[in-house]
Amino acid sequence: MHHETNNRHTRQTIDAFLDVLRVCGIALPPFLTAGPLVDADLPPQALAWMRDFIRLHQRAAPAAASGCVPVAGRDSDLLPPLFTAIMAFQGHEYAWHTPGHAGGNAFLKSPAGRAFYHYFGESLLRSDFSISVGRFGSLLDHSGPMGESERYLARVFGSHRSYHVTSGSSESNRIILAASVARGQIVLVDRNCHKSVKHGIIMANAIPVYLPPSRNRYGMIGPICPEHLAPEAIATGIAQNALAARAADPRPVHAIVTNPTYDGLIYNVALVEELLGRTVDRLHFDEAWFGYARFHPLYAGRFAMHGDPQNHGPAQPTVFAVQSTHKLLTALSQASMIHVRDGRNPVEHARFNESFMMHATTSPLYPIIVSNEVSAAIMDGRDGQALLTDTIAEAVAFRQAMARLHADFAARDQWFFNCWQPDRVRLDGKSVPFAEVPMHDLLERPELWTLDPEAQWHGFTNFPANYVMLDPIKATVTTPGIAANGGMEQTGIPAPLVAAYLNARGIVPEKTANFTLLFLFSVGIAPGQWQTLTDALLAFKKDYDVNAPLARTVPELTRVHAQYAGLGLRDLGESMFRAMAELRLSELMAEAFALLPRPVMTPAVAYEKLVRNEVASRSLSQAAGQAADCVAATGIAPYPPGIPMLMPGESLFPEPGGAPQTAPVLRYLQALEAFDRRFPGFGHETHGVAVAQGIYRILCVQ
C-alpha cells in the first residue's frame, strides 16, 4: 500500500484492504510504504496490525524491499519451531559425523553427484542432519526444537500429545498397536482396514475380532452400521469367534475404525465413540486420508480430535488418530502424525515412547519432519479454513458441472458419466437439483452432504440419519453399467477402459473399480484444473460413440498387446462389459465380502508358518481340490480397494471340508483370473496373489 496524503479516502482504502486480509485468513504481516507520513494519522486498526512502516524517502528501494522479508529476521515467529531452528543453522563446515555426504559436499566430487546436487538443491542436502547435531533435539526423546514441534502439532490438531512419524501411516498404525495391545489380547478391527493394521496385529500376536462394514451396488465400502458397534453385538462376535472365545480375557482392549472410508464416507465420530466406548477403553481412528478435517467447519464432529481437547477427560475413552499428512495436505511422502487424547486406561507418554522407539528410525530425514510441521502451519487458523474452502469449492464446481452434463445428455437420451452424489437435496424445505444448489450452501451446510438412510442414490442401508457424511473433496465418477437394483444393465462402459484412456492423456485417477473412478481434490489443486478432466471425459464419450481406433485413443495398449490391433474403443468396451457380466464379477465380489471368513489360527501363527516355510504355493484349482482346510498364509486383498477378503490364518472355505462351489472368495478370485487372461493390460492387482503366465497362485498353510 502506498499512502502519500492524509485523507479520508486513503484511510478507507487501508481499512478495506485489512478487512480483505482478515476474511481471507491471510497471515502475512502487512507493511506500509509511505512518504513523510505522520503515524497518528493512520486508521487505528492499521496501527494495531502493521508490522512496520517503510518510509521511501529514508531508504532506497532495494533496501526497503529487503525489510519486507519476514522469514529472514524478526518475523520468524511466523514459522514453526523446528523449521525456524533449521533455517538458522549454519553448520556442516566442520562436520565429523553422518550423513557421509556432509551437507552435500560429497556429491560435488563426481558428475552424477553434481547432477543430483543441482537437481535437488543445496538447502535440502544441507538440512539432512545427523541426530548428533543436538541443537535440534531428538525425534526419539522429543526434546529441544523437535519436542517443541510436536507440542506445536498438538495445539494445531487438538490433541493432548502428537508425534512426528517418518515412515507413513503404516508405521503409525504399528506403533499404536504395539503400545496398546499385548499377546493374546482381543482387538476389534474394522474389516475395512489398511494392511498395516494386519501387520500390527501379527507383531502384537493379538486376536482380531472383525467389525463388518457395509457395501453398495458399486462395491464401495460403507460404514460399520451402529448395530455392530453395540456391546451386545460385540459380545456375540467374540463368542462366535473360535479364537477369541478361547482368550484368557474376553474383553477387547483396543478398537480400530477407518475414517473416512476410501470412497469418502465419514462417520459421526461422537456416536462411534459413545457406542464403542461402552465396550473398549482405547479407540484408534485410522484417518490417513483425513488430516484436513479439523480446519473446516463442514467436518465438525466427524474426526477423532474433534472439539476442545480440554473437554476430553478420564471418563472418556483414550483416543488415537493416525494421519498421513502427505496424502491430501502438503507434507512430503512418508510424513505422518499420531495424535493422542488421554482418557480411560491411557498409554502415557513414557510407555508409548517405548513402542515409538521400537519402530522409528534413529536416522530420520529432517525435511520430512519439517514438511509435517509446515503442513500444520499452513492449515493453522483462518489460513487453513480459507485454503480448504477454495479446495471444496473446486470439488463442488466439478460435481455440479458433471451433474449438469449428465442431465443435459440424459435429456437427449444419451449416456454420460455421473458423479456419485445425490441427484437432489432438501434445501430449506424444498427439493432442489444438486446442480442448482448455491455454492455457499454446499460449502457451509454439512447436512447437504449427509446420507439420508431412505435415499436410493447411495445404495447403503441400516444406518441412522446424520451417521454418515459424503466428503465433497473425494469425487467418485460413475460409468454406465450398474442398475439401481444392483444388477448389471444390458450395456455399460467398464471404468478400467476409461482410466486407460485418461492415463494416455496424463490424467491419473486415485482409484479405479469396475464402474467407478475416484478423483481427489487436495489442497494443491489448481483453480479450474477440473475442467481438463471434464474435457477428457467429453472426449472419451465422443471417441467411444464413434468407435475411434484404439491405436489412436490408447496407443500404448495396442503397441504392447497385439490382440487389440484393429479394434475400436467401443469394440473393446463392449467386449469387456460382456465378460464382466458373464463372469459375474460384481455379484461374486459382493458374495466374497458378504460374510466374515472362518478363522483357523491367529494372523501371528499363520505368519510364523510362513517364516518357517510351512506353507505351499497353490493355484486356485489346486486349492479348490485340496481335501483339507485351505488356510491363507498371507492376507489376500484385491486392489482396489485393498480391503482384505482373507486375513492370514483364515480359511477359503466357510465350513470345514466345504466344497469349492461354496467358497465365495475362491470363486471371485477364479473370475478375476479368467478376466485377466482375456484382457491383458487390464489385470487386477491382488495383494497376496502371485501371477505366473496368467495363473493365480496363493500361499496356503501346510
Q: Cell 473437554, residue?
A: 311
Q: Dihedral sign for Cα 358, 181, 639, 502, please.
A: negative
Q: Would you say residue 142 lies in a domain?
A: no
- Looking at residue 52, its pLDDT comes to 55
DSSP state for residue 664 in the 8-state scheme: H
Let me know whether 499 and 646 are in one domain.
Answer: no
Q: What is d(CA 187, CA 120) in angstroms, rounded to the nearest whole number? A: 44
The pLDDT > 90 percentage for the chain reads 78
Q: Cell 560435488, residue?
A: 108
- Looking at residue 258, its pLDDT comes to 97
Domain that holds residue 316: 157-170+182-379
Is residue 448 over pLDDT 70? yes
Q: How far is CA 97 from CA 107, 130, 303, 360, in A?
A: 16, 7, 42, 20
22 or 281, which is more confident? 281
Q: What is d(CA 380, CA 158) in angstroms, rounded to the nearest whole number? A: 11
Let me know whether 274 and 334 are in one domain.
Answer: yes
Q: Would you say residue 175 lies in a domain?
A: no
Per-range mean pLDDT, top range of 36-45, 84-93, 509-518, 658-667: 509-518
Domain boundary among 379, 405, 421: 379
- Looking at residue 46, its pLDDT comes to 60
CA angle 364, 359, 319 (to 5 degrees): 110
Q: Would you say residue 63 lies in a domain?
A: yes
CATH for 653: 3.90.100.10
pLDDT digits (tens, 9 = 90+) for 493-539: 999 999 999 999 999 999 999 999 999 999 999 999 999 999 999 99
Q: What is d(CA 338, CA 175) in angstroms, rounded to the nearest whole number? A: 9
Is residue 64 over pLDDT 70? no
DSSP state for residue 435 in the 8-state scheme: G
Let me know whether 311 and 163 are in one domain.
Answer: yes
- Looking at residue 89, its pLDDT comes to 85
Q: Would you say residue 146 lies in a domain?
A: no
Domain count, the chain: 5
Report the side by side order of strands in the sheet with 161-165: 161-165, 336-341, 318-323, 282-286, 252-258, 186-190, 207-211
Let me know whether 346 and 392 are in one domain.
Answer: no
Q: Would you say residue 135 lies in a domain?
A: no
Residue type, 414: Q
Is residue 469 over pLDDT 90? yes
19 or 570, which is more confident? 570
Is residue 129 over pLDDT 90? no
CATH for 495: 3.90.1150.10
Q: What is d(CA 282, CA 284) in angstroms, rounded to the nearest whole number? A: 7
CA angle 15, 20, 24 (to 5 degrees): 150
Confidence of residue 3 (pLDDT cuts 50, 70, 90): very low
Q: How far is CA 604 from CA 25, 197, 403, in A?
A: 50, 12, 48
- Looking at residue 268, its pLDDT comes to 97
Determine contact, residues 467/226, Cβ cutoff 8 Å: yes
pLDDT digits (tens, 9 = 90+) for 651-676: 998 887 656 566 999 999 999 999 99
16-30, 437-451, 611-625, 675-689 — which is least confidently predicted?
16-30
Max distance between CA atoms of the chain, in angstroms, equals 95
Q: What is d(CA 323, CA 305) in angstroms, rounded to the nearest whole number? A: 11
Domain boundary among 561, 583, 605: 583
Confidence of residue 629 (pLDDT cuts 50, 70, 90): confident
Domain boundary among 17, 51, 77: 77
Let me know whether 201 and 346 are in one domain.
Answer: yes
Let me know whether 36 and 119 are in one domain.
Answer: no
Let me know whether 198 and 85 are in one domain.
Answer: no
Closest residue by Cα to residue 620 from 674, 675, 657: 674
Confidence of residue 133 (pLDDT cuts 50, 70, 90): confident
Is residue 144 over pLDDT 90? yes
Closest residue by Cα to residue 284 from 331, 320, 240, 326: 320
Let me know whether 593 and 577 are in one domain.
Answer: no
The β-bridge partners of 691 are 696
- Looking at residue 9, its pLDDT comes to 64
CATH for 315: 3.40.640.10
Q: Would you say residue 478 lies in a domain?
A: yes
Q: Would you say residue 516 lies in a domain?
A: yes
- Looking at residue 625, its pLDDT comes to 82
Let me know whether 373 and 389 are in one domain.
Answer: no
Let me know whether 679 and 554 are in one domain.
Answer: no
Q: What is d(CA 363, CA 138) in angstroms, rounded to the nearest whole number? A: 10
Q: Where are the alpha helices (DSSP H) in 600-663?
A: 603-611, 620-624
**φ, ψ (nearest 5 deg) of residue 429:** 85, 0
Let me know whether 255 and 328 are in one domain.
Answer: yes
Q: Would you say residue 695 lies in a domain?
A: yes
Let me know whether 195 and 242 are in one domain.
Answer: yes
Closest residue by Cα to residue 305 from 345, 262, 337: 337
By the 10 Å C-beta count (0-12 exposed, 13-18 middle, 19+ buried), 423 is classed as middle
